Amino acid sequence: MGVVAHLVKHHPKMLVGAGTVLDVETARQCADAGAHFLTAPGFDCDIVTFAAEHDMVSMPGALTPTEVVTEWRAGADFVKVFPAVQVGGDAYVRALSRSLPQVSLIASGGVNQQNAELFILAGATAIGVGSQLIPTESIEKRQAKRIHELAVRFSKFVREARLRLPSRKEVTASASHISAVKCEKP
């Protein structure tokens, strides 16, 4: 929790989160350190509830549509599709997003510079990037500039992909039209 507390104290404009949070005690330590969000590869209802009670964002991981819906109904702010690349990549996220447009999905697990934009275009609200953003070597060599450059690069991929997305109004109108057609009686 020392890193979280340090970042919160010395970079007050930065949103600092913590993961992998697997139990409420760890969630409490993260909250005490000043974390703004909690993430995990799986789902624990108690952690989602804790996060909501402490004004923190929760991002539990899910794989199946059932898990995604369960987490969304439990109050998760975002549902992290994990491991995204290994289960079908952007095509899988696209299928989930089209079926569950009301759920804010985060693609995580295998996201890199080559596929980051594809996940946003597939319907992910955000991407979760680990070692491709913060390489172990960069930590060991204290290469803050390299990590910053990678962060800027990933931010650019997301920003450019969002510019290519149809407007929210167009998507809603299109979805309403499709639903109306499906519900018509013969």
Residue-wise pLDDT for 89-116, tens only, equals 999 999 999 999 999 999 999 999 999 9
**Average pLDDT taken over every residue of the chain:** 90
Element (H, E) at 150: helix 144-164
- pLDDT at res. 180: 35
Share of the chain above pLDDT 70, in %: 90
68, 62 Cβ separation under 8 angstroms: yes
Where does CATH 3.20.20.70 sit in the chain?
61-164
pTM comes to 0.85
| Residue 20, preceding peptide bond in cis (omega within 30° of 0) | yes
- pLDDT at res. 1: 85
Architecture per CATH, domain 61-164, reads as Alpha-Beta Barrel (3.20)
Amino acid making up residue 73: R
Please determine, for residue 36, whether its predicted confidence score (pLDDT) is greater than 80.
Answer: yes
